[in-house]
A and B are shown apart, each in its own frame.
Chain A
Amino acid sequence: MRPFTYEKATSAQDAAAKAAAMPGARFIAGGTNLLDLMKLEIETPSHLIDVNGLGLDRIEEIDGGGLRIGALVRNTDLAADQRVRKDYAVLTRALVAGASGQLRNKATTAGNLLQRTRCPYFYDTNMPCNKRKPGSGCAALGGFSRQLGVIGTSDACIATHPSDMAVAMRVLDASVETIRPDGTTRAIPIAEFHTLPGETPHIETALEKGEMIISVALPRPRGGTHIYRKVRDRASYAFALVSVAAVIQRDGKGAVALGGVAPKPWRVEEAEALLPQGPKAVADRLFAGARPREDNAFKLTLAQRTIASVMAEAKA
């Protein structure tokens, strides 16, 4: 870990302004990912801006329907919220499928969206990694890639985004609300929040310099059966091989997003129109253009079978 300076922000705008003004600054909230990465010198911020204590830890109802989740709401609290459990159960199910109780007590809503990939080559600083060190190459290509992405990847990076929460938010059409250093705010649809790696895998979100997440807005509840199915090698405390977040309506229509397969929560709206045709049609459309590696080609089969499992569960 490199030496760094630290300060507490006094307001969200203050935090954003400070982050923009100070090169090498990072926000710190729960620290469950950032601190680990700092110890390994994968992240080397020179300055930490503590955004705890800014009053961003509340869940509020939006006039006209929907929920606004503060950026600093802890994963545990979000999962346990009665309104979330009742109207957005897929989100609660995704949250409790992630990490451990102890980590969820610390991890925040914004931090969860911003967590870095768990690609083992990203974590080993002896290895080339375009995400960690732009231009150094990708050791995962041609390496051990069983956990890594099959679609949305590039020749520069095949990492996946590890979040469960974000997959549920994607299926719920959440929007990420931010504040910029000049005090202006905007709402970024979650579909556009995470970016694909292309030639610049070190750029992972649409956030601008200094821009800070202040909340995540969920639209009005849409009913339906909410399912989050996470497939992994052990029963708990592991990242998804494949996960499926689904909200399925009585008429069989619905929304489906996948985790564990791409650099962002993977959802293709046109694929959802094919739900009545069954899981193969949906999966084929979802994974059109997929570029799996030898180690992770099974994810295509697994994704289709997991979608089948979810559809059967929704029907039952």
Chain B
Amino acid sequence: MKFDKPAGTNPIDRMAVVGRPTPRIDGPLKVSGKAPYAYEQQDVPGKPAYGYILGSAVAKGTISAIDTTRAERAPGVLSVVTHRNAGKLGKGRMNTAHLLAGPKVEHYHQAVAVVVAETFEQARAAASLINVDYARESGAFDLAAARAGAKDATGSDAPTSVGDFAGAFASAGVQLDQTYTTPDQSHAMMEPHATIAAWEGDSLTIWTSNQMINWGVKELAATLQMPPEKVRLISPYIGGGFGGKLFLRTDAVMAALSARAVKRPVKVALQRPLIPNNTTHRPATIQRIRIGCGSDGRITAIGHESWSGDLEGGGPEAATQQTKLLYAGANRMTALRLAVLDLPEGNAMRAPGEAPGLMALEVAMDEMAEKLGMDPVAFRVVNDTQVDPEDPSRPFSQRNLVRCLEEGARRFGWNRRKAPGQGREGRWLVGMGVAAAFRNNINGKSGARVRLDRAGGVTVETDMTDIGTGTYTIIAQTAAEMLGVPLAKVTVKLGDSAFPVSAGSGGQWGANSSTSGVYAACVKLRDMVVGKLGFGPGDAQFEGGQVRVGNRVADIADAAKGGELVAEDTMEYGDLAKTFQQSTFGAHFVEAAVDRYTGETRIRRMLAVCAAGRILNPISARSQVIGAMTMGVGGALMEELAVDKRFGFFVNHDLAGYEVPVHMDIPHQDVVFLDEADDKVSPMKAKGVGELGLCGVGAAVANAVYNATGIRVREYPLTLDKYLDRLGEVA
């Protein structure tokens, strides 16, 4: 099915199941431990051996010698796989560095060897017996130092320019020119990257934890230089990914190589201290923002440049993305500049681009509002645009940013906000901050198969993943709505490359794209049902387990009397995303308190108002947004991979050193969804919320801290050492 014109009325509009607050259908399995995650899969042919990965001790250089003799002789050891015996390996299109080092080492903790043994403990113990000699080379590890040599990014990341930015900025009555920095961040998902691999002849099955089944199949096949048809990838449950599991990682490759070496299944999980340096991370940025305004508060010039680094051949953190679209202004420019660094590989982390981009832009907007003497909400409202500011011929499909801001301000009690440094409660300095949330909507081609059995049961199969987001539930809701059956009649099977290829989970495209694929398959199945029932043409109603055309009524199960009905289809998209700019919007409000003695910041209240099309399930959508808001607090206040610029690695590479918020850091959170349905995006009329919830949170926190203290900090995270000496004397 192709979606190439705005959706008319369709069965989803009934919203008898879709849109209803529905607890996740996989919840009981998860809370009772019956949902097997990758490392726990039991359907493995034979008793698996255990693999343990040894990471490189240097960031850059060459393995000059590697002695595995002692490890191979250690108790229980079955094999040691290194670049010397792994056979020729290719590289996935989406991997910047190789997933097995040797002889070249491209980054710290890059996999150098995997030890396979009968037990995990034996494998781990033997790994320490491997002797590796490195010829260490110097590298570039400091973004600030590499900034001068950075080059303009190309392709879709190339610089943009509209009007005369330089001239308009120079002549603007009120100007802002500030630089902000965001640090490297780690996904820090609960479940580590983990895989069990098993070979049968030349066919490989891996049980893994991956957001994108089809990418994983292709990339693993490319790496192992085998046909993708011979790879089966199964990933039904994922304990968090946040973009860290979008791509093939070394657990899968090492498990496959190990299983081939020892001729039995092998399981490999990345040990926690390996994850920050071995896998991908969100790259640090240096961002310069210039805004010029007239005294009426209208933006006449807006410029955003961002510098980030990556390994040779990698890509930039697209932190200027939202600045192309968020605010009006006739003269504009953006530029992404990429430096080559020898730190571990950078890549997508939840809301790549917008998350760090808005951390800068929305503080700049706060600073500009103050310069103008305008309320920060009013300043944003004045600069709203209903068309793509770079190409005014393109309207937004739906854009309710102003309503988000105004509704949020009303609900949050924004009018009680005081001047910077004026809010005081005992030892606490108290302030409020706001930021706009913005993230583009992306639709992806997505397929599904729907089965109707004799008992009227419906089974949906798609290689779509549930990364903790609630995909199982919204897909079940979609099928139940389309076929008029109760939710309990629907079984959802996900995360298996044997199923039709879906859009996968990433870029907040999963919910809308995958349910649209299920919609397409259900439309096909409805036609089959009506045909089987011999009802002839007419407007069929599917409701209450029955099918009705005119006066004729039958149980839907009757259609499958003669055997199961199976329909498969894929939703594809025309050029509506070109004609209309499709984005999601929101406003974040934060109240923060700063201890005037110690500078500790404690968040007191948070509110997000989101406009993201139809909300398929308010419970799981809310869960996504409050999780994202929590992540935003982490990014604002504590999360930072500390770079050792001499040795070239992230020093705090475990969950003791890389702090993320704990329960005590997160106060009352409110989430409001505007009642929307965007008919330009899909028949579901839904957009994503999983990343929108993060976009802007950091800036709202930073703006609240500024409002509380009167001190502006432009380097994230806002740890107390950055402003303690400006907090004013205490007794």
Judged by a CB distance under 8 angstroms, whether B576 is at the interface is no
B595 cross-chain contacts in A, Cβ below 8 A: 309
A305 and B125 form a contact (CB under 8 A): no
> B159 near A: Cβ within 8 Å?
no
Shortest Cβ distance from B312 into chain A, in angstroms? 23
Interface residues of B in 639-660 (CB under 8 A from A): 642-644, 646-647, 651-654, 656-657, 659-660
Query: Chain B's nearest CB lies how many Å from the CB of A159?
Result: 14
A237 vs B57: C-alpha distance when bound (angstroms): 29
Q: Are B651's CB and A120's CB within 8 A?
A: yes
Residues 97-127 (chain A) with a chain B CB within 8 angstroms: 118, 120-121, 123-124, 126-127
User: What residues on A are CB-neighbors of B599 within 8 Å?
Assistant: 302, 305
Whether B651 and A41, one on each chain, are in contact in the complex, defined by CB atoms closer than 8 angstroms, is no
Q: Which residues of chain A come closer than 8 Å to B600, judged between CB atoms?
A: 231-232
CB distance from A181 to the nearest CB of B (A): 30
Q: How far is the CA of A118 from the CA of B656 in the complex (A)?
A: 9
A234 with B662: CB separation less than 8 A: yes
CA distance in complex: A282, B646 (Å): 37
B121: which A residues are within 8 A, CB to CB? 1
Q: Are B125 and A298 in contact (CB under 8 A)?
A: no
Q: For residue A302, which residues in chain B have a CB less than 8 angstroms away from its CB?
A: 598-599, 720-721, 724
Q: Are A39 and B124 in contact (CB under 8 A)?
A: yes
Question: Which residues of chain B in 697-731 are interfacial with respect to chain A, using CB atoms and an 8 Å cutoff?
Answer: 717, 719-721, 724-725, 727, 730-731
Residue B30 CB within 8 A of the other chain: no
* B residues near A124, Cβ cutoff 8 Å: 273, 651, 653
A120 vs B121: C-alpha distance when bound (angstroms): 23
A286 vs B352: C-alpha distance when bound (angstroms) = 46
A234→B659 contact, CB < 8 A? yes
CA distance A238 to B664 in the complex (A): 12
The interface size of chain B toward A, counting residues with CB under 8 Å, comes to: 44
Question: For B656, what are the chain A residues with a Cβ–Cβ distance below 8 Å?
Answer: 118, 239
Is the beta-carbon distance between A40 and B273 smaller than 8 angstroms?
yes
Given contacts A120-B651, A235-B662, A236-B662, contact A309 B644 (CB under 8 A): no
Q: Which residues of B contact A144 (CB under 8 A)?
A: 642-644, 651-652
Contact assessment for B665 and A235 in the assembled complex, using a CB-CB cutoff below 8 Å: yes
In the complex, residue of chain B having the shortest beta-carbon distance to the beta carbon of A308: B730
Interface string of B648-684 (1 = CB under 8 A from A): 0001111011011111110000000000000000000
* A115-146 interface code vs B (CB 8 A; 1 in, 0 out): 00010110110110000000000010011101
Q: Measured between C-beta atoms, what is the minimum distance from A248 to chain B in Å?
A: 14
Nearest neighbor of A235 in chain B, beta-carbon distance: B664
B730–A298 contact, CB under 8 A? no
Contacts of B721 in A (CB 8 A): 146, 298, 302
- With a cutoff of 8 Å between Cβ atoms, the chain A residues found around residue B652 in the complex are 120, 144
Instruction: Report the nearest B residue to A310, measured CB to CB.
Output: B597
CB neighbours (8 Å) of B647 from chain A are 127, 139, 143
Q: Does B263 have its Cβ within 8 Å of any Cβ on chain A?
A: no
Q: Considering the complex, give the chain B residue whose CB is closest to the CB of A140.
A: B651
Chain B neighbourhood of A234, CB < 8 A: 637-638, 659-662, 664-665
Quick check: is B245 within 8 A (CB to CB) of the other chain? no
- Nearest Cβ distance between residue A312 and chain B, in whole angstroms? 6
Instruction: Flag if A126 contacts B57 (CB, 8 Å).
Output: yes
Check: A3 CB closer than 8 A to any chain B CB.
yes
Q: Say yes or no for A250: interface residue by CB 8 A criterion.
A: no
CB of A233 within 8 A of CB of B637, answer: yes
A55 sits at the interface (CB 8 A): no
Does A28 belong to the interface (CB within 8 Å)? no
B642, A306: Cβ atoms closer than 8 Å: no
Q: Are A142 and B719 in touch, CB under 8 angstroms?
A: no
Whether A10 is near chain B, meaning CB under 8 Å from some CB there, is no
Q: Is the CB of B719 within 8 A of A233?
A: yes
Pairwise interchain contact B57-A308, C-beta atoms closer than 8 A = no
B602 at the interface (CB under 8 A from A): yes
Query: Beta-carbon contacts of B267-306 to A below 8 Å, as 1s and 0s?
Result: 0000001000000000000000000000000000000000
Residue from B75, B124, B598, B663 in contact with A231 in the complex, judged by beta carbons closer than 8 Å: B598
Inside 8 A of A279's CB, which chain B residues have their CB?
730-731
Known contacts A278-B731, A309-B427, A312-B731; decide if A3 and B597 are in contact (CB<8 Å): no
> Nearest-CB distance from A144 to chain B (Å)?
4
The distance from the CB of B629 to the nearest CB of chain A, in whole angstroms, is: 15
User: For A234, A302, A308, A311, which residue has the most chain B Cβ atoms within 10 angstroms?
Assistant: A234
Report the minimum CB–CB distance from A234 to chain B (whole Å). 5
Residue A301 is within 8 A (CB to CB) of chain B in the complex:
yes
On whether the beta carbons of A123 and B654 are closer than 8 Å, the reply is: yes
| Inter-subunit contact A41/B128 (CB<8 Å) | yes
Contact residues in B for A232 (Cβ distance below 8 Å): 600
Are A233 and B651 within 8 A (Cβ)? no
Question: Whole-angstrom distance between the alpha carbons of A101 and B724 in the complex?
Answer: 31
**Complexed CA–CA distance, A146 and B720 (Å):** 12
* Min CB gap B205→A, angstroms: 30
Q: Which one, A41, A229, A233, A305, contacts B638 given CB within 8 A?
A: A233
One of A2, A121, A142, A312 near B651 (C-beta < 8 A): A121
- Nearest Cβ on chain B to A68's Cβ, whole angstroms: 32
Q: Scan residues 141-163 of chain A and give those whose CB is less than 8 A from a CB of chain B.
A: 142-144, 146
Q: Which residues of the partner chain B approach A241 to less than 8 Å between Cβ atoms?
A: 720
> Roughly how many angstroms separate A118 CA and B647 CA in the complex, as a whole number?
19
- Taking a contact as CB atoms closer than 8 A, the residue among B638, B661, B720 that contacts A298 in the complex is B720
- CB nearest neighbor in B for A297: B721
Chain B residues whose CB sits within 8 angstroms of the CB of A309 once the complex forms: 427, 595, 597-598, 730
Residues from 1 to 59 in A contacting B, C-beta threshold 8 Å: 1-3, 39-41
Assess A236 versus B663: contact at CB under 8 Å? Given A298-B724, A308-B730, A309-B730: yes
How near does chain A come to B98, taking the closest CB pair, in angstroms? Answer: 20
Q: Which of B602, B657, B661 is packed against the most chain A CB atoms within 10 Å?
A: B657
Contact in complex: A306, B598 (CB < 8 Å): yes
Contact A305 B597 (CB under 8 A): yes
Tell me if B597 and A238 are in contact (CB < 8 A): no
Q: B655 — nearest CB in chain A belongs to which residue? A: A237
**Shortest CB distance A131–B (Å):** 16
- Give B188-221 as 1s and 0s: 1 = Cβ < 8 Å from A's Cβ atoms: 0000000000000000000000000000000000
Which residues in A have their C-beta under 8 angstroms from that of B273?
Answer: 40, 123-124
- A247–B57 CA distance with the chains assembled, in angstroms: 47
| CA gap between A2 and B122 in the complex, in Å | 9
Chain A residues within an 8 Å CB radius of B663 = 236
Complex: A98 Cα to B213 Cα, angstroms: 42
Tell me the nearest residue of chain A to B602, going by C-beta. Answer: A235
Measured between beta carbons, the chain B residues less than 8 angstroms from A311 are 731
A309–B426 CA distance with the chains assembled, in angstroms? 12
Write the chain A residue with the least CB distance to B57.
Answer: A126
Chain A residues with CB under 8 A of B657: 118, 120, 123
User: When the two chains form the complex, which single residue of B651, B662, B720 contacts A237, counting CB atoms closer than 8 Å?
Assistant: B662
CA distance A134 to B267 in the complex (A): 36
A146 to chain B, nearest CB (A): 7
- Chain A residue at smallest Cβ distance from B595: A309
Q: Are B597 and A308 in contact (CB under 8 A)?
A: yes
- Nearest first, the 9 A-B pairs at minimum CB distance are A235-B664, A309-B597, A298-B721, A126-B57, A236-B664, A144-B651, A144-B642, A308-B730, A233-B638
User: Can you pick out 19 interface pairs between chain A and chain B where the beta carbons lie within 8 Å of each other?
Assistant: A40-B273, A120-B642, A120-B653, A120-B657, A124-B653, A126-B57, A142-B646, A143-B644, A143-B647, A144-B643, A234-B665, A235-B664, A236-B663, A236-B664, A298-B721, A305-B598, A305-B730, A309-B595, A312-B597
Residues of chain A whose beta carbon lies under 8 Å from any beta carbon of chain B:
1-3, 39-41, 118, 120-121, 123-124, 126-127, 139, 142-144, 146, 229, 231-239, 241, 278-279, 298, 301-302, 305-306, 308-309, 311-312
- Beyond A118-B656, A126-B57, A144-B652, 15 additional contacts (C-beta under 8 Å) are A2-B128, A3-B75, A120-B642, A126-B58, A139-B644, A139-B647, A143-B647, A144-B643, A233-B638, A234-B662, A279-B731, A302-B598, A305-B597, A305-B599, A305-B730
